[in-house]
Structure formats: C-alpha cells, structure tokens
Amino acid sequence: MSTPSTSTRPAPSAAGRMAAVNEMTRLLRLLFEVERDFVRSAATLVYRVGEPELKYLVCQHVWESAGHARFLRERGRELTSFGTTDTVRDPIRRIFSEAIGGGGANPLVIVAGFYGVLKPALLAAYRHYLKVTDPLADWPSKKLVEEFIADEERHQREIAPYLAGVEAREWKLHLLQALDDLGGWLGQETRLPLAAGYVWQHEQTPYAHPATCNRGKYPVCSSVFGFDPQEDPIVRPWLTDPKTDARVIRLMVYVWLMMEMDAIDYLATVFPDTPHAPFDLHYDLARHLWDESRHSQFGFRQLPKLGVDLMTVEHSLDLYNILVQMPPHERYAMMTMEFEANSFPTKATVMDRVRELNDFEADTLLAFDRNDEQNHVRYGHRWLPEMMAMFGETRPTEEFVNATREKFNRLAGLYGGRTPHSLPREQRLTGDRIRRLAGVA
C-alpha cells in the first residue's frame, strides 16, 4: 500500500499529540477534587467525636490531606488541561456530603464511613495512578503519589484503634453503593449503577451542626476562666499578677492551652459552611485547625506530667455553644480578630514568667504557640474580607468586627453559662488546687 501524500494525510490534532499527558492530568484533577472535599467534609468529625486524641488525629489528617490537594494542584498546573478553578464536580461532592451523615448519627459510625470506604477508595485510586502512568515521563507525579500512598496507609493504621468494635456495616455499604456508581474515584472500576430505591440521606435531611460539641468521657463546664480560685482553674488576675508563683502560672497556662480544644471544635464548623470557598482559604483553615490541635495537645500531654489528673479538668463549652449560633464569617472574625488578636499581651506576660522556671520544654511550647497565633491573625486579615464577601457583608472590616463583637456578647447572655459543672468543687481542678499541686502555700 502506498503512503498517503502530504496533501491527503489528516492534520494531526493538538489533543492527539498530548493524549498521554491529558489522561494523567484528568486523573490528577480527580484526585485533587477528592482530597479537597475530604478536607471540607471530614472537618465535621472533629466536634462530633468525643475522644481528644481522636479529635487531634482527625485534625492532623485534614491538614495532611490539604497538603496532598495543594501538591496535586501545583503538579496539575504544570500539565495541560488541569483547569484554573478549584471547584469540585457534583458527583464527588455528593458522596462526601452523604458521608457527613445526619447530626444525630453515631459519630464513630460516620468516622468508619470515611475511613472504611472513602479513604480506602482513595488509596486504591492512588495505586491505580501509579499503575497506569509512565514512571519516568511522569516522575514528579509518581514521587508525590508514592508519598501520598504512604500517608494513606498510615492514616488507616492510626485510625484503626478508635474504630475497633464499631458496628458500621450498614452505613459503609450505603456509602460503598454510592461510590460504586462512579466506578471508584477515578472511574477505574466497573461501574455498578445505584438501585432505583437508593435514598440520598443528605438530600432528605440536610446536615446541621450539633448544638454542643462532644467531649466524650471528660467532665464539662461553661468556662475554665474566672475570678474565684475556689471555683475556676484559670484565675484571670493571677495570670498577670507579679506576685503569682511562676509554677502556678505554668499550670494555668497548660489548662488554657488544653482548652484550645474549643478552637478546633468551632473552627472546624467553618469548613462545611463555606463549600464554595477558594481552596487556598480551606488550606489555611486546615493549617489553623492543625495548629490549634497541637496547642491543645501541649496542655493535654503536659498536665499529667505535673501531677494533674485529666479527669478532674472540666472542658469549657461556652465558645462552641455561642459561636455555632453565628454564621461562619462571624465565627471566623471572633476567632482571629478578637480572641487571638487580643491574647498577645497576656500571653507575653505569661511567657516571661514561665521563663523564670528554666523549663525549656514549656518555653518551647509557648514560643511556638505564639508564633502560630501570629500567623492565624495574618490569616484573618487575609481571608476575613473574602469570607465577608461570600455572605454579602459589605461593611468595612473594622465596623463589621465591632458589630460582631457586640453580637457575640448578646448571644453569650442567651447561650453562654448553660453548662453546669460536671464535678463538685471538691473534685474538679480549681485555682486553689493548682496552688497545692504547684507546692505553693
């Protein structure tokens, strides 16, 4: 057969030339969207699970998944046809919205859905990517995916102890059917269409935040801050009184740090309430969430070393209970522009006093806490105006923050102070007991 002449040979298409790249870019885009929507939806687990160590772990995984999404986006943008927006396509978002579950569902069952169905499917998708890409031509993507596979395998090991004995077969099957309808996250499996009677529960009963956050077996109260050493563990005047023994201040500030668990609970509610936010906003929120989680761990891990029984430390619920009544841009304004921005003078005094103890570990933890909080206020300056715009707020930022502060104070009168002490005064940690633990007469 003769070779066609140049004049009759079909013109090569640009898409045909780049077919191999375009196919891998398509898969990278899907992986980005899955990781991105995991960040949005898995954040709802934080305030619904009760075990502090599980809260911390979910915060870590949300942050690591945000990192995966960011690197996938950066790599994808080096290739053709990745796209310039951060949107998540409806079929993917629909599954994650279903995985969030109803507000009254057993939180560990919901966790089992994420980690027993959606995360294993993501691991399978990453392994499929390695199988179908060229290891040399697509080396940058290959190295990223290899790292993400290691992370996903570790996530499964880390979550396993918290799900031992949890009966979630029915819920996992429900989610698996939704995922099978896609043929896996990358469409790499045989598609099994949904049965005609399948019911999307989130469409029947839209998700709503619980009225209060879960603290599991731990005792609770309205607030750990106060003025009465016979009632409250953090006695406000003692923090800045030069006559207060530095050992007392160290114990009180560790209680303060542990209670940054408040922050992870109410900050986590912002993710699902801003589903169309830019990914970079959610990325910074995920870092903020992980930072606050680490700060809470500072206290959670250090207090027992100083003789404190954690079952005597009541957990304060007021901030969540009040802030969940406010829209997300107001919650974020209070956190970054009020609570964090105004904490620096007191924390500076506390840091100087703790340094008297020559406690290098305490100095290190407090220094990193301060560094992180400075970044969080920067996040607030960066993202609060954009978050305000999302919700149609047109007032100048300063005016809005002032009005939000006043609104918070009004709501505090309605929703604050409602949580009675779980423990009698004789059993719970108070300022007086802290003095005794610190060896102060």
pTM of the model: 0.94
Provide mean pLDDT across the span 293-320. Answer: 97
Task: Name the residue ranges covered by the structural domains of the chain.
Answer: 20-192, 220-437
Pairing verdict, β 315-316 and 225-226: unpaired
DSSP string, 125-140: HHHHHHHHS-TTTTHH
Contacts for 423 with CB less than 8 Å, ≥ 6 apart: 219, 312, 314
The whole-angstrom separation of Cα 382 and Cα 387 is 10
The whole-angstrom separation of Cα 416 and Cα 399 is 24
Token pair 């589903």: residue: 275
Burial (CB count <10 Å: 0-12, 13-18, 19+), residue 15: exposed
Residue 206 has pLDDT above 70, yes or no: yes
Q: How many CB atoms lie within 10 A of CB 131?
A: 8
Q: For residue 123, what pLDDT is reported?
A: 98
Question: What CATH code would you report for 20-192?
Answer: 1.20.1260.10
Query: How confident is the model over 324-379, as pLDDT tens digits?
Result: 999 999 999 999 999 999 999 999 999 999 999 999 999 999 999 999 999 999 99
Q: For residue 80, what pLDDT is reported?
A: 86
Banded pLDDT at 105 (limits 50, 70, 90) = confident
Q: How high does pLDDT run on average in the chain?
A: 95
Q: For residue 1, what pLDDT is reported?
A: 46
Banded pLDDT at 16 (limits 50, 70, 90) = confident
The whole-angstrom separation of Cα 263 and Cα 335 is 8
Query: How confident is the model over 69-94, as pLDDT tens digits?
Result: 999 999 999 998 999 999 999 999 99
Provide mean pLDDT across the span 42-67. Answer: 98
Report the length, in residues, of the chain.
Answer: 441
